[in-house]
Amino acid sequence: MKIFTGAQVKELDKYTIEHEPIKSEDLMERAADALTRAITASWGTDTAVVVFAGPGNNGGDALAVARMLAEKDYRTTAYLFNIGNTLSEDCTINKKRLQDCKKLRKFIEVTNEFDPPRLEKGMLVIDGLFGSGLNKPLAGGFASLVKYINQSPAQVVSIDIPSGLMSEDNTYSVRANIIKADMTLTLQQKKLSFMFPENQNFIGKLQILDIGLSKDGIESIPATYSVVEEKDIKARILHRNSFAHKGDMGSALLIAGSYGMAGAAVLAAKACLRSGTGKVTVGTPKRNNDILQISVPEAIVHHDKDDKYFTEPIDVEEFDALGIGPGLGQNENTAIALITQIRKTQVPIVLDADALNILASHRAWLQQLPKGIIMTPHPKEFERLAGNHYVDSYERLCKAQSMAQQLHAYIILKGHHSALCLPDGTVIFNSTGNAGMATAGSGDVLTGIITGLLARGYKQAEACLTGMYLHGIAGDIAAKEKGMESLTAGDLIEKIPQAFAFLDK
Ligand SMILES: NC(=O)C1=CN([C@@H]2O[C@H](COP(=O)(O)OP(=O)(O)OC[C@H]3O[C@@H](n4cnc5c(N)ncnc54)[C@H](OP(=O)(O)O)[C@@H]3O)[C@@H](O)[C@H]2O)[C@@H](O)CC1
Ligand SMILES: Nc1ncnc2c1ncn2[C@@H]1O[C@H](COP(=O)(O)OP(=O)(O)O)[C@@H](O)[C@H]1O
Ligand SMILES: [K+]
């Protein structure tokens, strides 16, 4: 599913109006109808409703919703903020229609002084102040109104986007001046800012309402951001030939685990084996031998000459993919071995955890990474790698996008919606997984899965996308069975088979 920017939504709106064709005011009526249906599904007619409408089309939507709710016998009061004495055309039309509505309790157009109504428990506020047309952070009277609504005990439903929240970049937004909605009814598609953890408090429960914008328009307008869908992954799954031989199914090399961190190697190796690859070899220090051999008997162990650390690059000729980093440690000899290993490796590589931390302390090496390399940092690892602290997720994502372009790399910025940044500058968000996966070792499992998929024959973009999605599905299946609280990384591995079965349906 594409995520369009505010400017693109306007373009899509225009496209729909011209090509359906439909009048702009009728499109607003359709949106208001969908909004009203969603509101009436959750609140009964005994709810007193206070609608706050702004001067643009978000306000137009709100006024149309006020009329529809009043017609359905909700006790409705509407405030229209027309401070600058300019309303959008469709807002003006809906103001007139609302004024003609006999069932509305009260309509107040605020042009100067505003006497705020009492907002009590059990009341419902409809926030239609600003939507995708917000062009600067809220300040002054609007900021005070937002604070007034936020501190009230009333429930709040935001139309399209909580007022004060920008569709994309909230670097300069004042967080106290953004509506904290209990529910956001967003039109047609998620906004980019909805993908970021720090904005969840504003959005509340999210519902996406289909308002029938042009399918051709959606198809033809290119989007930088999108969310992966089940059908995209299902179409990418490779199937086994009946005559398959393990030699055809790929051979993966994982370099992982230092002394005291053998578990990371075990988790990655098990996940790698579960991901369909024919053969898994684990390069690990001598001392981890027994642990690996006993825990993952299917894997071959390649011993480093060092007892505790990875210090000797491994010949990669017989392998189809390399995953390196989980539990590796950051010993200086390991750092030298890592960059030597990267230089001599011709097959696709996944860098994770300590491999990324080592690069962060040798940032000049970033320029030596081969094109097509995959990196899977969590936010802190990414910040170390980029050598910078970012004020919010948007800024961090932009940096990951530009790094992916500059290095021709695939960067998976991990999180609730992990973001795959591709070398062409586009970003695909994952849509599976849950908070139970915020547990030690789940990243090692992801590295194992992606390395396994690469060895199995998936190209980099496919391996990243399928890997993130599969990892999240495994987490969702595990959480259903064991609950999020008790979920461990090992549980994820056990559910990879069911995750594959789900995607194979
Ligand atoms: N395709 C769809 O999805 C559909 C979308 N629809 C709806 O349209 C909405 C977008 O409407 P929109 O473009 O008119 O913008 P909107 O958010 O109402 O704000 C613009 C107004 O706010 C003002 N303004 C801006 N910032 C400000 C600030 N900081 N402080 C004060 N004022 C500020 C700005 O004034 P300006 O700065 O331009 O002078 C202008 O007057 C969208 O969210 C959805 O609800 C549906 O109707 C149908 C289909
Ligand atoms: N709240 C969450 N929702 C969905 N996925 C999550 C959540 N928290 C973590 N994950 C996933 O779990 C993995 C955690 O990776 P990472 O932070 O590297 O963990 P570790 O270093 O402990 O192995 C990532 O793939 C991430 O996307
Ligand atoms: K709004």
The CATH number covering residue 344 comes to 3.40.1190.20
Nearest alpha carbon, ligand 2 atom 25: 443
Query: Based on the domain organization, do 388 and 341 belong to the same domain?
Result: yes
Q: Which residues of the chain have pLDDT under 70?
A: none
> Which parts are annotated binding residues?
57-61, 127, 131-137, 160, 163, 264, 327, 378, 414-418, 443-444
Q: How far apart are CA 289 and CA 268, in angstroms?
A: 15
Rounded to an integer, what distance in angstroms lies between the CA atom of residue 262 and that of residue 282?
11
Q: Sort 298 into a burial class: Cβ within 10 Å, 0-12 / 13-18 / 19+.
A: exposed
Q: How far is the CA of 478 from the centre of ligand 3 (A)?
A: 37
**Residues 53 and 66: beta-carbon distance below 8 Å:** yes
Q: Where do runs of H (alpha helix) occur along 195-331?
A: 200-203, 215-220, 230-234, 262-273, 289-295
With beta carbons less than 8 A apart as the criterion, state whether 405 and 419 touch: no
Copy the structure tokens of residue 195.
Answer: 């993908």
Domain final residue, candidates 176, 194, 222: 222
What's the domain count of the chain?
Answer: 2
Ligand nearest to the CA of 440: 2
237 in the same domain as 141: no
* Distance (Å) from CA 417 to ligand 2 centroid: 10
In terms of residue numbers, what domain contains 144? Answer: 2-222
Instruction: Point out the domain boundary residue: 188, 222, 256.
Output: 222
For residue 441, the ligand 2 atom closest to its alpha carbon is 23
Atom of ligand 1 nearest to the CA of 189: 3
Pocket of ligand 1 contains residue 56 by CB under 6 Å? yes
Measured from CB, residues less than 6 Å from any atom of ligand 2 are 353, 378, 414-416, 418, 433-435, 437-438, 440-444, 446, 471
Do 187 and 333 fall within a single domain? no
Please work out whether the CB of residue 187 comes within 6 Å of at least one atom of ligand 1: yes
Most informative mutation of 20, 27, 29, 58 for ligand 1 (most atoms within 8 A of CB): 58
Is the same domain home to 31 and 176?
Answer: yes
Structure letter (DSSP) for residue 48 = E
User: What is the predicted pLDDT for the residue at 244?
Assistant: 87
186 and 257 assigned to the same domain: no
The domain that contains 210 carries what CATH number? Answer: 3.40.50.10260
Could you tell me if 250 and 194 lie in one domain?
A: no
Ligand nearest to the CA of 142: 1
Q: State which of 222, 250, 270 marks the end of a domain.
A: 222
- Does residue 159 sit in the same domain as residue 123? yes
The string of pLDDT tens digits covering residues 24-77 is 999 999 999 999 999 999 999 999 999 999 999 999 999 999 999 999 999 999
- Domain identity same for 389 and 293: yes
Q: Which residues are annotated as a binding site for (6S)-NADPHX?
A: 57-61, 131-137, 160, 264, 327, 378, 444
Which value does ipTM take for this structure? 0.96
What does the buried/exposed string (b/e) look like for 50-71 if buried means 16 or more CB atoms within 10 Å of the residue's CB?
A: bbbbbbbbbbbbbbbbbbbbbe
Nearest ligand 1 atom, CA 60: 47
In this structure, the dihedral spanned by the alpha carbons of residues 151, 154, 155 and 158, taken in order and rounded to 10 degrees, is: -60
Residue located nearest, by CA, to atom 21 of ligand 2 = 443
CA of 168 to the centre of ligand 3 (A): 15
The residue length of the chain stands at: 505
Residue 9 and residue 146 in one domain:
yes
Same structural domain for residues 440 and 407?
Answer: yes
Phi, psi of 68 (to 5 degrees): -65, -40
* All residues at 6 or more sequence positions from 100 whose CB lies less than 8 Å from its CB, including other chains: none
Are residue 203 and residue 247 in the same domain, yes or no?
Answer: no
The tokens of 351 are what? 């860098």
For ligand 1, whether the C-beta of 140 sits within 6 Å is: no
355 and 459 co-located in one domain: yes
